């Protein structure tokens, strides 16, 4: 019953960090498409001025998305944690004009620029993705992906995950609580490993049985293998305006990249 400590507000918002901003009023399909277009465009950029522009463009979405800035930057830093070692090693692994030498290994300017390029690209893309798509409720995203003709199996997997992840979690917490109530303290020993093995095994068995019951319940309501989703999306004037502005800015970034070609 630990799971019932959710306020009504949170419940209506799905319990997920849910934003209210200008972007959240736009057509979710459009937001997904724009995020994808932006990502492809930015990955193709290599000019540092263009990339800095891309980061600024992505950052300008943040206030529009209504996402809390601090938590969003924290998540961005989380992603940076994954690539930090690549970035540190790049100056040493790329040969070129030396900057300095550590233990006889040269760091090169070329490598440093590449590292900066990758860092800017990654942060611009992740920030735009979080603002455009991350501000969406997962359910809405499922519907939007369906409307964008994403493979129905994947959309269904997503929808079932959204629906049952909480049930699985509360089942885990119930079992875990029951273990605690009988004096279980995890340690580095076989008893702990075995007990966690049982816990995971029991969750799998229960999940499997639940899936059979869910299928039974679905059949009882006439399910024959085809899902119909309810939500209808519409592109309104503000959607077209935002699409035009955002795509215009993206094209501008590409033009900055190509300025030497035209010059």
Partner 1 sequence: MSLLELHDITFAYPAHGLTLNGACLRLGAGERLSITGPNGAGKSTLLKIAVGLLRPASGRVVAFGQDRRTEADFTEVRRRIGYVFQDPDDQLFCPTVAEDIAFGPLNLGKSKEEALAIVDSILGRMHLSHLRDRITHHLSGGEKRLVTLATVLAMDPDILILDEPTNALDIENEARLLEILQSLPQAILLISHSADFREKIAPCGYRLADGVLTPLD
Q: Which residues bind partner 1 (CB under 8 A)?
A: 4, 6, 10-12, 14-15, 139, 142, 159-160, 162-164, 166-167, 210, 213-214, 216-224, 228-230, 232
Q: What element of type H or E holds 107? A: strand 105-108
The minimum distance between CB 221 and partner 1, in angstroms, equals: 4
Comparison of 15 and 66: residue with beta carbon closer to partner 1:
15
The SS3 assignment for 62 reads helix
What whole-number distance in Å separates Cα of residue 189 and Cα of residue 183?
A: 15
Main-chain phi, psi angles of 105, to 5 degrees: -105, 130
Q: Give the length of the chain.
A: 263
The SS3 assignment for 252 reads helix
What whole-number distance in Å separates Cα of residue 219 and Cα of residue 217?
A: 5
The SS3 assignment for 101 reads strand
Comparison of 70 and 213: residue with beta carbon closer to partner 1:
213
Comparison of 18 and 38: residue with beta carbon closer to partner 1:
18
Comparison of 61 and 136: residue with beta carbon closer to partner 1:
136
The minimum distance between CB 96 and partner 1, in angstroms, equals: 53
């Amino acid at each position: 019953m630990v799971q019932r400590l959710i306020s009504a507000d949170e419940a209506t918002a799905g319990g997920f960090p849910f934003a209210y901003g200008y972007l959240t009023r736009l057509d979710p399909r459009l937001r997904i498409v724009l995020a994808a277009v932006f990502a492809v465009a930015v990955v193709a950029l290599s000019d540092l001025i263009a990339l800095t522009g891309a980061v600024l463009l992505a950052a300008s979405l943040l206030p529009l998305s209504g996402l809390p800035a601090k938590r969003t930057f924290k998540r961005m830093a989380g992603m940076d944690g994954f690539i930090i070692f690549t970035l540190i090693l790049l100056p040493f692994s790329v040969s070129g004009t030396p900057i300095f030498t550590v233990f006889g290994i040269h760091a090169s300017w070329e490598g440093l620029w590449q590292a900066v390029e990758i860092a800017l690209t990654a942060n611009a893309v992740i920030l735009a993705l979080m603002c455009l798509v991350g501000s969406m409720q997962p359910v809405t995203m499922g519907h939007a992906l369906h409307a964008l003709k994403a493979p129905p199996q994947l959309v269904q997997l997503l929808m079932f995950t959204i629906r049952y992840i909480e049930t699985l979690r509360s089942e885990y917490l119930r079992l875990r609580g029951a273990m605690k109530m009988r004096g279980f303290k995890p340690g580095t020993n076989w008893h702990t490993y075995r007990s966690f093995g049982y816990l995971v095994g029991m969750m799998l068995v229960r999940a499997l049985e639940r899936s059979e019951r869910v299928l039974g319940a679905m059949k009882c309501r006439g399910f024959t293998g085809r899902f119909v989703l309810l939500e209808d999306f519409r592109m309104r004037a503000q959607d077209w305006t935002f699409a035009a502005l955002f795509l215009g800015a993206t094209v501008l970034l590409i033009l900055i990249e190509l300025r030497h070609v035209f010059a």
